[in-house]
Structure 1
Amino acid sequence: MDIHHGGESTGDLAGALASVRGGEATAPPESSSAMPALAVLRDGTPLLEVPFSTVHAVLGPVSALRHLIARLSGTAPAPRGVTRSSGSETVLVAGRPARLSSRAASSASGVAVVTAGQAISWSQTIGENVLLGSERAAGLRETVVRLLRGPSADRTSVEQSDAARIRRALRIVGLDRSPADPAGALSVVERRLVELARAVAAEASLIVIDDSGPALRADEVERWRQAMVEVARVPRAAGPAPGVLLATGAVTGLAGVASTATVLAVGGAHSPSIRLTPDSGEREVLEAMADGALALDAAGPAGARSWTPGTATVPTDRVSGTGLAVEHWTASHPADPERTVVDDLSFACAPGEVLGLFGPPDSGAGEVLLSVFGRSYGARTRGSVALDGAVADVSTTDLARAAGVLYTTEHPIRFDLSFLGGVPSSVSPDALTRMVRLGVADPRRDYRATTVPSGLVAALPGVHRGPDADQFTESLRIIADTGARAVLLAEPFGATGPPGSEDGRRRAERCALIRSLAASGRAVVVSSEDPAALAAVCDRVVAVRAGRIVGTVGAVGVADAERLDARAVIETMGGLA
């Protein structure tokens, strides 16, 4: 769900409210154990099923997951003048056709979406946030609801007090906080738990969890996972425990929270359901993710070396000698100096080498490059940068260029926010930091990085959108004529496409240009969430999660070696995130 976070506004509350409103008034009758909470059918054949009382993981690239979440939440864009629908597929929630024309219609069908802590009303208490959109205060609405439910409905939940519902929901998700506490006091993981408690209080049949967003510490990850397991275990007042659909890119540890999984490819194809157990399943998920990544890869040559389990290595020591060396680099979120995005990260890239940093937005992979270039990302940054053994001053973009460091991207990191009156804007990380310092933007907001402007922002004149595809390709050619000794490229590959297509041709050309930059003696560092493209063009790839390097593929100091394997890149990350 897209909410433009800025000053507290009616629009913010309306967006959060729409994610839960209406589900109770049209809640389905008690379901049998054979009826799934969610069924996506094509010509009567199940593509995706989420049973009640289970956590089912759906994994894939960020773009595919966001499309699925948008469809189920009723926010998927439709052609102008055409009513939104679920497309050619049939979506059933608790056995009934789901209306997905809007957030309110989706919620009325029994769907609740948890947005990784973004849909929080900061002017209200924890308890008020839990009940947001499903309050049961006496009045016309409550009277109508009771009449519609009829005498056969479960009156225990109807007559339950708001206070009891809040306590029950908070207890189920494991949040030991007073409902009277202000929402502004919540930590990152507690924001997620409050949103999850809201879905519990709304008695949703299907809870869709967007697991992207701010990285959690190891102890917070365990707390969050246990909350999801508990929600899928405790029965609702009017039926079995809800089905939980977990949209994630991470495979490591997935068997500890989900019982089954489905993998989506970039094109939206579904893998067969994969059963997860403590001893098996995760390897099969990784292989399905690799197959999906390779299926649409048109960039690299055939004949990549074969991949076997265990080829990924542990993080290597930093490279000594000439080239680019980034030491102990740390950068915070632009709006929150206390929230670390790049966490004491060190890497080096020799002249003639292409080094890949693999990770989606907010992983630290792209953020470290932008923060190194003129400290253009982060309310706080620290660490050192050296070129050919000498310390380089990269404190401003001009000084970074003068030192020989150049950064460019087709898809700049942006943050959406609303000014007073709800006017949307799309700002750079550096601008967001300044706005927070000036008091224009609220530092409590969970601003999520994006490389694609929201639909409304994209329609506004004057909004920065970065270069178009041809302009960016030309910029890669121009770099060869500059004095840059280290080139930092963020998401440079462009759209995938079959061989011979315009996208496929452009993608292959960019890969060739990146290799030529390295061949000219420059150190080239590329960040991307595309494992197949990184494997095609890089000599080494390091996987970055929660701001730290979690694994490395490829040999140190061996440029122009045999092409890497996307399967190994995915394995070293333990997924796509």
Structure 2
Amino acid sequence: MDALLQMRGIRKTFPGVVALDHVDLTVRAGEIHAIVGENGAGKSTLMKVLSGVYPYGSYSGDIEFLGRLREFRDIRDSERQGIIIIHQELALVPLLSVAENLFLGNEPTRFGVIDREQMRRRSGELLRRVGLAVSPETPVNQLGVGQQQLVEIAKALCKEVKLLILDEPTASLNESDSDALLNLLLELQRQGIAAILISHKLNEISRVADAITVLRDGNTVHSYDCRLGTISESRIIEHMVGRQMAERYPARPRQPGATVFEVRDWQVFHPEQSDRAVVKQVSLHARRGEVVGIAGLMGAGRTELAMSIFGRSYGRRISGSVRKNGVEIDVSSVSKAISHGLAYVTEDRKALGLLLEEDIQSNISLANLAGVAARQVIDRARQYKVADGYRQRLRIRCSGVRQKTLHLSGGNQQKVVLAKWLFSAPDVLILDEPSRGIDVGAKYEIYSIINALVAEGKSIIMISSELPELLGMCDRIYVMNEGRFAAEMDAAEATQEKIMHAIVNHGE
């Protein structure tokens, strides 16, 4: 099979950092090529070089595409050759329709006026091609994340894509949407479209990839041809992290103490649809030194439950009670929730968990400014000392705590969010998808931090869409479906099948 793309000796540096060091990548015509590696390994940087985000001249090495050397000046230059990248943060305009997004900047015209009838017709054809059954007139903000991913792929097809680059396309999708996206990728492959897939989900890679390239610390470590035989996940992980990882989840003694935290008869209504209950008479408890999991499909109400408990950050007409150490507490605002020892690590660290343009030390002190202030003025020396202490404790990889959080890898950003809440000295931490979008090595470090907190007597409530993660980390698991708890089970007796059975059969 002929090479569609060859990247040879790619080297890219930033001030004080070598992001890529003579990386090689070959993608053959019509194949799905996976790129894996820890956060910070250079995967996204390599794709930004390929797509022209980092233009020719800002890196060294050669890019050969369709048999010719290319010198892409910007992303439009690479798109004209048929290289389309879909980033993890989707680039759609929420208030515009699907059709307007598909042809944004490339609108069909007739006599100098946008031809809306042609735009609707061609949009319908593209949507059918990706299997999305919505009207082209639908505003994008009315679509789910999985549907928006399909709109992005339809947009790529509109540009006559030859090589489709997908950066963590299923990170925010539930299992059914992920399956639909992977099936579409295989269908596009049958149509002759090659793809580069960046993902931390090795089971998905094993399902669709024809070849796998592993990056570590900006270097090409290993390449596999999956057509020659099955590649074990353990081998891939060993190349990714540079060491063997016999256990995905660090062991810890499981000896929960007395009940610390209770939620009773909690009910929450949608903030805009006042007659729609999204959390329905939920009760839960967490013991000292215990990890309590909440499983469920997307839309089950898990995040809504967590946010409403944490200072009523979500919802209206909230009723029920919250108790700590047997005494009812007031969690009607975020500041009151924090004062009672609650912390909430959001699932969306970039939009809600961090100020990306601020440095690490500023982010770490956000939830407890009084802890770094003297007479209501920030003590910069104290702020630096606190942040540097957490940098060492949580092993945050950075050039220093004055580095902008924007430039950290996903795993290290997640550690900064954890550090922010640890500095508020909580007794109860609610972790919403704590390992989303981070690699297996960083996940292990996050899990180790969780275990250390449990050993200190903290109570952890963990929301996760990854059932193996809940089974590997939790002492008890609640199963949530349609705003209610469908089951509660001890993690030692739980299985993925039992959890899914509880979801599927809830209400029957």
TM-score (norm 1): 0.53
**Mapped partners of 2:249, 2:5: distance in 1:** 39
Letter in 1 for 2:53: T
Tell me, in whole angstroms, the C-alpha distance in 2 between the residues paired with 1:126 and 1:332.
29
The CA deviation string for residues 375-400 of structure 1, in whole angstroms up to 9 with x for no partner, is 44678989875433445432312332
Q: 1:246 aligns with which of 197, 209, 219?
A: 197
Q: Within 5 Å, give how 1:224-243 maps onto structure 2.
A: 224-234=181-191, 241-243=192-194
Task: Give the counterpart of 1:493 among 375, 394, 397.
Answer: 394
Instruction: Give the alignment of 1:94-105 within 5 angstroms.
Output: 94-105=66-77
Q: Does the C-alpha gap of structure 1 residues 185 and 400 become closer, same or farther in structure 2, counting only changes over 3 Å?
A: closer
Equivalent in 330, 334, 341 of residue 393 of structure 1: 330
- Indicate which of 256, 262, 268 corresponds to 2:207: 256
Post-superposition offset of 1:326: 6.9
Whole-Å Cα distance in 2 between the matches of residues 552 and 136 of structure 1? 52
Other structure's SS at 1:253 match: helix
Match of 1:302 in 2: none
Instruction: Specify the alignment match of 2:220 in structure 1.
Output: 270
Partners in 2 of 1:335 and 1:276 — Cα distance? 49
Q: Identify if the C-alpha distance between structure 1 residues 308 and 465 changes in structure 2 by more than 3 Å, giving closer, same or farther.
A: closer
> Using a 3 Å threshold, how does the CA distance of structure 1 residues 414 and 355 change in structure 2: closer, same or farther?
same
**Residues 270-300 of structure 1: CA distance to partner in whole angstroms, max 9, x if unpaired?**
33123447954434333334x25x7xxxxxx
Q: Distance in 2 between matches of 1:385 and 1:180?
A: 44
One-letter amino acid of the counterpart of residue 47, structure 1? D
Letter in 1 for 2:3: M
Matches of 2:359 and 2:273 in 1, distance apart? 24
Cα 1:280–1:553 change in 2 (3 A) is same
Cα drift, residue 226 of structure 1 = 0.9
Q: Does 1:74 align with 2:52?
A: yes
- Larger RCO (CA under 8 A, 6+ residues apart): 1
**Alignment check: 8 A CA contact 1:355 1:524 kept:** no
Distance (whole Å) between structure 2 residues aligned to residue 402 and residue 374 of structure 1 = 10
Amino acid at match of 2:311: G
Question: Are the equivalent residues in 2 in contact too, given 1:110–1:206 (CA < 8 A)?
Answer: yes
Q: Which runs of 5+ in 2 are unaligned?
A: 12-20, 113-117, 374-389, 404-411, 455-459, 477-494, 497-508
Q: Deviations over 1:215-254 (max 9, x none)?
A: 32322221111111111220xxxxxx23211222222333
The equivalent of 2:470 in structure 1 is 551
- Distance of aligned partners of 1:367 and 1:74 in 2 relative to their CA distance in 1, 3 Å threshold: farther
The 8 Å contact of residues 99 and 109 in structure 1, kept in 2 or not, is answered as no
Determine the C-alpha separation between the residues in 2 that align with 1:186 and 1:389.
42
Matches within 5 A, 1:4-15: none
Is 1:39 matched up with 2:7?
A: yes
Determine if contact 1:111/1:204 at 8 Å carries over to the other structure: yes
Specify the code of the residue in structure 2 equivalent to 1:200.
Answer: L
Which aligned pairs between 1:350-389 and structure 2 lie closer than 5 A? 350=288, 372-376=309-313, 385-389=322-326
1:55 and 2:5 matched: no
- 1:106 deviates by 2.8
Letter aligned with residue 154 of structure 2: A
Once residues 157 and 369 of structure 2 are traced to their aligned partners in structure 1, the CA distance between those partners, rounded to angstroms, is: 50
| Contact persistence 1:59–1:250 (CA under 8 A) | no
Answer yes or no: is the 8 Å Cα contact 2:341–2:427 preserved in 1: no
1:393 aligned partner, one-letter code: D
1:321 aligns with 2:297: no
Report the CA distance between 1:532 and its aligned residue. Answer: 4.5
Distance 1:400 1:50 in 2: 51
Deviation, structure 1 residue 196: 0.5
**Shift in CA distance, 202/321, structure 1 to aligned 2, threshold 3 Å:** same
| Cα displacement (A) at 1:112 | 0.9
2:204 alignment partner AA: G
State the shift of 1:191 in Å: 1.8
For residues 330 and 68 of structure 1, the distance between their equivalents in structure 2, rounded to whole angstroms, comes to 47
Asked if the contact 2:86–2:152 (Cα under 8 Å) also holds between the matched residues in 1, the reply is: yes
Could you tell me which residue of structure 2 aligns to residue 308 of structure 1?
Answer: 246
Report if the CA contact (8 A) 1:39-1:46 is conserved: yes
Q: CA deviation at 1:109?
A: 3.8
Could you give the per-residue CA deviations for residues 443-483 of structure 1, whole angstroms, max 9, x where no partner exists? Answer: xxxxxxx7353xxxx4xxxxx7674388689979889xxxx
Task: Say whether 1:112 aligns with 2:107.
Answer: no
Q: For 1:335 and 1:70, how far apart are their aligned partners in 2?
A: 39
Letter of the structure 1 residue corresponding to residue 197 of structure 2: L
Q: Deviations over 1:468-504 (max 9, x none)?
A: 388689979889xxxxxxxxxx998363269x9999x
Partner residue of 1:451 out of 331, 354, 360: 354
Matched length: 408
- Pair 1:59–1:346, CA change in 2 (3 A): farther
Of 286, 307, 316, the residue aligned with 2:237 is: 286
Q: Is the 8 A contact 2:360 2:402 kept in 1?
A: no
Amino-acid identity (%):
22
Deviations 1:298-335 (A, max 9, x none): xxxxxxxx85368789xx99957233467999999999
Equivalent residue, structure 1, for 2:504? none
1:105-158 Cα distance to aligned partner (Å, 9 max, x none): 232343212245833345655445334445565789xxxxxxxxxxxxxxxxxx
> 2:165 is paired with a residue of what secondary structure?
strand
The aligned residue for residue 152 of structure 2 is 195
Q: Say if 1:326 and 1:386, in contact at 8 Å, map to a contact too.
A: yes
CA 1:60/1:355 → structure 2, altered by over 3 Å: closer, same or farther? farther
Q: Secondary structure at the match of 1:252?
A: helix
- Alpha-carbon shift at residue 206 of structure 1 (Å): 1.6
What is the RMSD of the two structures over their aligned residues, measured on CA atoms?
Answer: 5.8
**Paired residues of 2:212 and 2:224 also in contact (CA < 8 A):** yes
Q: Which ranges in structure 1 are unaligned for 5 or more consecutive residues?
A: 1-32, 77-82, 141-160, 235-240, 295-305, 416-428, 430-449, 459-463, 480-489, 558-571
What secondary structure, in the 3-state scheme, does the structure 2 residue paired with 1:36 have? strand
